[in-house]
Amino acid sequence: MYLGIDLGTSEVKGLVIDENHDIVATHSAPLTIQRPHPHWSEQDPQAWWDATNYVIATLREKCAPHWNAIKAVGLSGQMHGAVLLDSNNAVIRPAILWNDTRSAAECMELEESASELHAIAGNLAMPGFTAPKLLWVRKHEPENFQRLQTVLLPKDYLRFKMTGKKIADMSDAAGTLWLDVARRDWSDYLLEKCGLARCNMPALVEGCDASATLDPQIAESWGLNASVVVAGGGGDNAVSAIGVGAVAPGDAFISLGTSGVLFVVNEAYRPAPQSAVHAFCHVLPNRWHQMSVMLSAASCLQWFCRLVGITEAELLEEVAQLSDEQRASAPQFLPYLSGERTPHNDPDAKGLFHGLTHSTNRALLGYAVIEGVSFGIADGLRVLQESGTHIEQCSLVGGGARSPYWAQLLADILNMPIVTHKGGETGGALGAARLACLATGQAVETVCKKPEIYHVYQATPARQGLLQQRYQAFNALYQNDLKLRNK
């Protein structure tokens, strides 16, 4: 059997598959985010490790007596987070997460000081990336920066706790702004611009290769053999791609998790930083991918449900009962609760409801939220297309994949087929388990098959005109808000 561990922002999920690549068991443990100041988003790495141990213990019970048949572990993780370790490998401060936007000023400084940034890293300097976070620490917490020995990404901190080895993979490392993405190696030039060097970085491996074996003490406490291999793993979206079989050029998917991602596989390195499109390494050798990323997606729906005291399933059921006429007159929502990346690169963007009346109810507001998130995905598709990337259809993964209504809305707004798969919400954890298979020498063609299709949602031509009008109004809302902020 093979174990996948997915360290997300809101939970740690574990998943076990057997030699036929069928899912045997899954379990998850929730995580919380700390926001001590505006623009800040942090987590305690120890909470990740505690949650991981809980998930392992639960899966061990679920899989008994076959638990010790696990041969390898794969890792998936939230990208860009900065875990700072001192010379004793102690965590110096809480991890600064991908959706932390405090380092906007440092992004501008990096853009000015590193003229080769776009050519080497293939991406704009954005507050979500790791490099600006370290510039912020150097400026605002110099005592912590002086203690710094190693910078690890979130899932690589879990690997360090599991194996004692400091190792990263190419896909996750590409999200730091320290990687030469075409060469798949650390850039001494970009590291030096942040006051760092290779000695502060983990070693690099491909995501599908073996990185280390379990530390004997950890193996014993988990009830596993110390020979269990830990795969290189990858950033959550690249690993989700493995979970949905997105391994060939042109394969694409949308992930509706805490963030919203439109991901497409490329046969070569194709940067498009001018549109805030991300260009990263895939978890497979000699493959790259592009992504458009919005910082708040399904988390917008979670936020709204908490405000009005209803479950997501109940709200989506209410939304589904709305008539076309009601949806046409619904308020509009800007989903920028944590700022935005693609295409605006605007950490100061804010969420907004527009067009409220006395007749506005929670179903109409709920519709506005999922429509606004879907329009954010449409923004990403537009700039990917403008960069020369062609996408024929998208798989849908993440928590949002559980909603048929949302899947149909995306098909209508994007004007393309949206495909859901059986088990699609387990994309990252399943992809991690598949990487564990690859790390033991199994073939990509055998392991990375596309999951069974659950449903294909086709665009509804009759809805195109109205949705296009609302999409144009959505974009005008953001532009008006931007003008007001810049006055």
Cα distances (angstroms) measured from residue 361 to each of 319, 326, 373, 471: 10, 11, 19, 21
Residues 6, 100, 236, 379: which is the catalytic one?
A: 236
Phi/psi for 116 (5° steps) reads: -95, 10
SS3 of 419-432: the string is EEECCHHHHHHHHH
416 is in an annotated binding site: no
Element (H, E) at 185: strand 185-186
- Per-residue tokens: 351: 């969420």
Q: Which residues contact 409 (CB under 8 A, 6 or more apart)?
A: 370, 371, 374
CA distance 414 to 418: 9
The count of residues in the chain is 487
Structure tokens at 21: 């690549």
Query: Is residue 80 a known part of a binding site?
Result: yes
In the three-class reduction of DSSP (H, G, I as helix; E, B as strand; rest coil), residue 167 is classed as: strand
Is the previous residue joined to 417 through a cis bond, with omega within 30 degrees of 0?
no
β 394-397/352-354 pair status: unpaired
Is 209 annotated as catalytic?
Answer: no
Residues contacting residue 20 through CB under 8 Å, at least 6 positions apart: none
- In angstroms, the CA 481 to CA 206 distance is 43
Catalytic residues: 236
Query: Residues marked as binding for substrate?
Result: 79-80
Query: Residues marked as binding?
Result: 79-80
